[in-house]
Amino acid sequence: MLILKSSLLLLFVFFSFKSLGSTEHSESNNSSAPTATVEEAAIKHWNQPEINREFWDIPMLKQAFIDVKPANLSDGIAIGELGIDGGRKANILALALEIAEGKHGKFDSLLIHHKGKLLFESYYLRGRIDLSHPQSSVTKVYTGMALGRAIQLGYLSMDDLDKPVASFLKNLDPSKFVDGARDITLHQASTMTTGLRINDENRKSMTGNPLLVRGQKEIQFLFEHSAPITSESKSFYYDIGPQLIMQVLEAVVPGNVEAFIKTELLAQLGITNFDWKAAPSGLPESIWKSSLTSRDMVKMGILAANEGKWQSKQIIDKYFMTRSTSKLITTGDDEIFGDGKDVSNQGYGYYWWSSDLQSSGKKYSSVSAQGGGGMYIILIEELDLIIAITAHHVEHTTQQIVAERILPAFVNSNE
């Protein structure tokens, strides 16, 4: 009777997807996946001010796209089939149907990579297979990865992480710094423990007059106008940090940091379809305003899960990548982004969050890149699982959904 019920559920979900125009087929057909029009694709270009259209202007998909056997795009991502190469198909399809019906907020994509293969790919609303999606604060993780790439190439060392940021920036005037600013290290900038506190008035000055923060003036302004730095203020504070990393990268890599990110980080993974806006400093934004496709988010997840290695090449310094995804700070469970009853023990590394996700009475350690609006790259090492999610204005329950609905589909799924 249990087997019969499962079969009936699978048939129900299958035909429900067919009514939505979604697909479940033995051979994936990439032409059926939603792609961007010429006008929609125009938003992806790097820093073109003449393009006034934003991601939010993209029309919603009329039909959700669901694929349990993703297309092989020869993009470096191996593909498989959900239910054949792992996972319980009925579980994931049931969740996808709910997402398509809008029951979990405004998801744009959900991709699942398991044991070295992409097994599930889906797009909703503003999701397109070939359109880069705003990453919000996931950008911080990419900034950190650029730092790890610079270490791998020898422009910095792991020991440099404990050196003051100011020691790398030669155009600063330390005599004007507030107390403690000259001692802020790259490690503290990477863990959001700089101690810097900028009031609203000074923030308005920074955004309203870009000349005040052009180039290294950005750091001079922050170090001059922060409240005095104390041992108390050096607690975890989700604010200033990535800007300092970007400035140091600009100072130490050959050429400029914009070209470095393009050629030495993204291009190494075959990522060319992206956007990365400029900050008022003139450097690439370090906190937000990057855009990647959902598949390229999976690539970033693979890179992190493989300790900085992409295919056979070490892209990010192994020790840096391991430290980045470690719990260096326990942040507490008071305000977990995307929390729920099965999400606990939150912590932070180098821009990567960590938490325990409970499923069937067992807790699984997870590491995630997180961005406001519902952007996630989630790694669960024990299950060899990578989940990429894009969304806009999604409900803050994503990690709970993963714990409650996705993890059970991969626990002992091949046994």
Give dist(CA 308, CA 231) in Å, integer: 33
Q: Span 260-266, mean pLDDT?
A: 98
Taking only the tens place, the pLDDT of each residue in 170-194 is 999 999 999 999 999 999 999 999 9
The pLDDT value given to residue 53 = 62
Higher per-residue confidence, 168 vs 21: 168
Element (H, E) at 407: helix 407-410
Q: How far is CA 45 from CA 57, 132, 354, 397, in A?
A: 15, 10, 32, 32
Model pLDDT, residue 56: 81
**pLDDT band for position 323 (cuts 50, 70, 90):** very high
- Residue ranges and CATH numbers for the domains of the chain are 2-131+338-410 (no CATH), 138-276 (3.40.710.10)
% of the chain residues with pLDDT over 70: 88
* Band of pLDDT at residue 18, cut at 50, 70 and 90: very low
User: Residue 62: how many CB atoms within 10 A of its CB?
Assistant: 8
Q: Give me the mean pLDDT over the 395-408 stretch.
A: 93
pLDDT interval class at 198 (50, 70, 90): very high
Query: 12 versus 149: which is more confidently predicted?
Result: 149
pLDDT grade for 403, boundaries at 50, 70 and 90: very high
Question: Does residue 333 register a pLDDT over 80?
Answer: no
Q: Look over the chain and give the mean of its residue pLDDT values, rounded to a whole number.
A: 89
Say how many C-beta atoms besides its own lie within 10 A of residue 274's C-beta: 20
Q: Which residues contact 153 (CB under 8 A, 6 or more apart)?
A: 264
Residues 232-259, mean pLDDT to the nearest whole number = 97
Question: In the numeric block, which tokens belong to residue 204?
Answer: 């308005």
Q: Which of 75, 51, 54 is nearest to 129 (CA)?
A: 75
The whole-number pLDDT of residue 414 equals: 53
pLDDT level of residue 141 (50, 70, 90 thresholds)? very high
Average pLDDT over residues 333-343: 76
Helix (H, G, I), strand (E, B) or coil at 229: coil
> Given this model, what pLDDT does residue 252 score?
98
Q: pLDDT grade, residue 19 (50/70/90)?
A: very low
pLDDT for res 332: 78
Which of 47-56, 70-79, 109-118, 349-358 is predicted least confidently? 47-56
Mean pLDDT along residues 55-69: 93
Q: What is the pLDDT of residues 270-312, one digit of tens each?
A: 999 999 999 999 999 999 999 999 999 999 999 999 999 999 9
Confidence of residue 335 (pLDDT cuts 50, 70, 90): low
Where would I find the H helices in 160-252?
A: 186-190, 200-208, 217-225, 242-252
Report the alpha-carbon distance of residue 208 to residue 278 in Å, rounded: 15
Single pTM value for the model: 0.91
Q: What confidence category does residue 30 fall into, taking pLDDT thresholds of 50, 70 and 90?
A: very low
